[in-house]
Amino acid sequence: MLMIAALGAPMLRRKIKTLLLLMSLSLLCGCGVEASRYDLLGGGSVSFEELRGKVVLINYWAQWCRPCRIEIPELNHFAQQHPDSVRVLSVNFDGVVGEALSDQVQALGIEFDTLLQDPRHDLAVPASGGLPETIVLNPRGEVQQVLLGPQTRQSLEAILRSSDL
């Protein structure tokens, strides 16, 4: 309140106009989760905008998570079986980076891309604290559901069938 009074009405109006202009430009340029690019382990990047038309699975894992170790081969197989309709991405739950991340991905046999940044905040999905966890985006790029626990080929196939293709 004191800051608003100190600014005075003309200055406050200018600040509000500037803020509204910036917000409008942000909307016009398509900024947001669709336009955000996420770097991939091993190089390159991906945006959820370019993945529209596919079901996107964002899987959270950790090296110490036994159910994650069981689930990863299922996700590898699922991604290989549906390359035209599904994109599987991974995120390390512990925030491991660099060579340690590469080593863990290799040790766990993760064959799908690993994101270097966690998109959870951009997707407005709160942290669950449990692993494994998989965020499912429908082909329109919208969060369809959040799955807790290890997924199987059967559960993954059911997700694909239930997605709004």
Distance CA 160, CA 81 (A): 12
Q: How confident is the model at residue 108 (pLDDT cuts 50, 70, 90)?
A: very high
Mean pLDDT of the chain: 86
**Does 83 sit behind a cis peptide bond, omega within 30 degrees of 0 on the bond before it?**
no
Domain borders along the chain are: 1-31, 37-162
Encode pLDDT of 110-151 as tens digits.
Answer: 999 999 999 999 999 999 889 999 999 999 999 999 999 999
pLDDT score for 12: 52
pLDDT score for 96: 97
Closest-CA residue to 153 (of 55, 67, 78): 78
Q: How confident is the model at residue 13 (pLDDT cuts 50, 70, 90)?
A: low
Structure tokens at 29: 């340029």
Count of residues making up the chain = 165
37-162 has which CATH code? 3.40.30.10
Least confident of 8-22, 83-97, 101-115: 8-22
Which whole-number Å values give the CA distances from 155 to 24, 29, 68, 84, in the listed order? 41, 37, 15, 19
